[in-house]
Chains A and B, each alone.
Chain A
Amino acid sequence: MQIVVDLTRCQGYAQCVFLAPDVFRLHGEEGLLYKPSVPDDRLERVRQVAAACPVRAILVGEEVGTGGG
């Protein structure tokens, strides 16, 4: 499962960092770094994180299916 954070919207509330520190991390006070590829067993937690983001900046989804794999 893939995630992307719209860092244009991100305001550094860091809710994601508190809820899933294995996926989201701050670089300094408010620069967000995250793991773009999330193991399936963390999916439910990451969906909760996406819902908890005050500015709804986290998008969770599958990679595009291109037919050939």
Chain B
Amino acid sequence: MAGEARDGRIVVVGASLAGLRAAETLRDEGFTGSLTVVGDEPHPPYDRPPLSKQVLLDEAPADSTGLPVRRDPDAEWRLGVAATGLDPLARRVLLADGESLPYDRLLIATGTRARPWPDPAGAALDGVFTLRTREDATGLAARLAAGPGRVLVVGAGFTGSEIASACRKRGLQVTVAERGPDPLVGALGGTLSRLAALMHREHGVDLRCGVTVTALLGDGAGRFTGADLSDGTRVEADVCVVALGAVRNVEWLAESGLAAGPRGIACDAGCRAFTRYGIVTDDIFVAGDVSRFPHPLFGYQMLSLEHWGNAVAQAEVAAHNMVSPGPLRRPHLSLPVFWSTQFGLNIKSVGVPTYSDHIVIAQGSLEAGRLAMVYGYRGRVTAAVTVDMAKSVDYYRHLIETAAPFPPPPGAADRALTADIPLPSDVPDPKGLSHEPVVALTGHLPDRALMVVQPPG
């Protein structure tokens, strides 16, 4: 069995971070068979986080973010061709160029794409961007370098906030429009989102919350000139960045019989895909942003994460399990972690902040702009977010992993006065946000509706 598992044909669909790490790990784990990696973009795997930071700050060109490899995965790379279908019975992946690839085991790592502006006429205006790919970042960076009079950012999630931060750093006027009450509220809850709003305004962002953009306007020659907001105001701008979150790349699996939908492809803790009947497959694996998987620390909720670290960790587990007999397979149980750098602050999150009912500020303060906020659910620590306190993250990670009581016991010398006073975590219903949450809890909490619905419009 072990010998068989290390031979044969493996196809990886998706040539970004998760696909690359899986391919490397397959070879690390002794896979000697044929390995093919399919990617719809023409580039070898590249890193995306710098696209909204270094690239927009003009410190690195977008085409310089290729991912380094630890070892040559000795794969056949089929780049610039999308997968268009899957025949699980014949074990073949269908490609846009009409070819089909046979496999013995398949890894799906097709990730997400930027959610486009819903009105195609508005989306097509010259000057309207989304930010997901190298080409997006190159085009947007060139427009910012040209010195536009004003930039409009639609959506104040992490990407939107980082874009606004880069614009201000470049001295550009920027307006941010967000449907929710404050920036980042969908990821961090109410208290920290108020700090985020302060951060925007202190850095000169024209932040408009509780409004939606009702129309993107053009000049008749197809150039973007501004937008109408739901409060009756109009914003004049030369560049618009639509930061409405991500769409999972699952359409190609519509006829596959897999449990693939807008929240991703459901899989077990061992990264094995479910069929639409909830039956686990044994030859189709899933990793990265496109997956949704159960996590025991969060009530076995199915989590969809758009996190760099999850793509790496899940790809490694998936690859290990693809070449290991059943009893040697491992679960993907690593804690969600993500980071963001904006307005000179380093924000890190561990656990699932939206899986919470209360928070305490355990260290630092909102006023100091330096703090550790701990989230609890029913008396147990479930997440922590630090602002400029990255060295504390591992401590809180340990509390989450050991299901420590909430509020947490004293553990830091600079413990805040507020550390024992829980406040409501004030996590909003995601349907009230401009952007999609980066963490989607797709199950059910009995005391709060957390079913994610498509934002209207």
A63 to B45 CA separation, bound complex (whole angstroms): 8
A33 to B308 CA separation, bound complex (whole angstroms): 16
Shortest CB distance B358–A (Å): 26
B53 touching A30, Cβ below 8 Å: no
Shortest CB distance A30–B (Å): 4
Shortest CB distance B311–A (Å): 10
B391 touching A11, Cβ below 8 Å: yes
B68 touching A60, Cβ below 8 Å: yes
Which residue of the partner chain A has the closest CB to B307? A8
A52 to B342 CA separation, bound complex (whole angstroms): 26
Out of B20, B45, B59, name the residue touching A33 (CB < 8 Å).
B59
* Chain B interface, >50% SS class: mixed
A7 touching B339, Cβ below 8 Å: yes
A36 touching B66, Cβ below 8 Å: yes
B388 touching A4, Cβ below 8 Å: no
Out of A25, A29, A33, A61, name the residue touching B68 (CB < 8 Å).
A61
B59 touching A35, Cβ below 8 Å: yes
- Given known pairs A34-B54, A37-B66, the reply for A64 and B339 (CB within 8 Å) is no
Chain B contacts of A11 at CB under 8 A? 390-391, 393-394
**Interface of chain B residues 68 through 101 with chain A (CB within 8 A):** 68-70, 72-73, 76-77, 79
Q: Which range contains the number of B residues in contact with the other chain?
A: 35 or more
- The verdict on B341 contacting chain A, using a C-beta distance below 8 Å, is yes
- The verdict on A31 contacting chain B, using a C-beta distance below 8 Å, is yes
- The verdict on B44 contacting chain A, using a C-beta distance below 8 Å, is yes
B64 touching A36, Cβ below 8 Å: yes
| Contact sample, A vs B, 18 pairs, CB 8 Å cutoff | A1-B68, A2-B66, A4-B67, A6-B308, A8-B337, A10-B339, A11-B391, A29-B346, A31-B341, A31-B342, A32-B346, A35-B54, A36-B47, A36-B64, A61-B70, A62-B69, A64-B20, A64-B73
Residues of chain B having any CB pair with chain A under 8 Å: 20, 44-45, 47, 49-50, 53-54, 57, 59-60, 64-70, 72-73, 76-77, 79, 307-309, 312, 337-339, 341-346, 370, 388, 390-391, 393-394
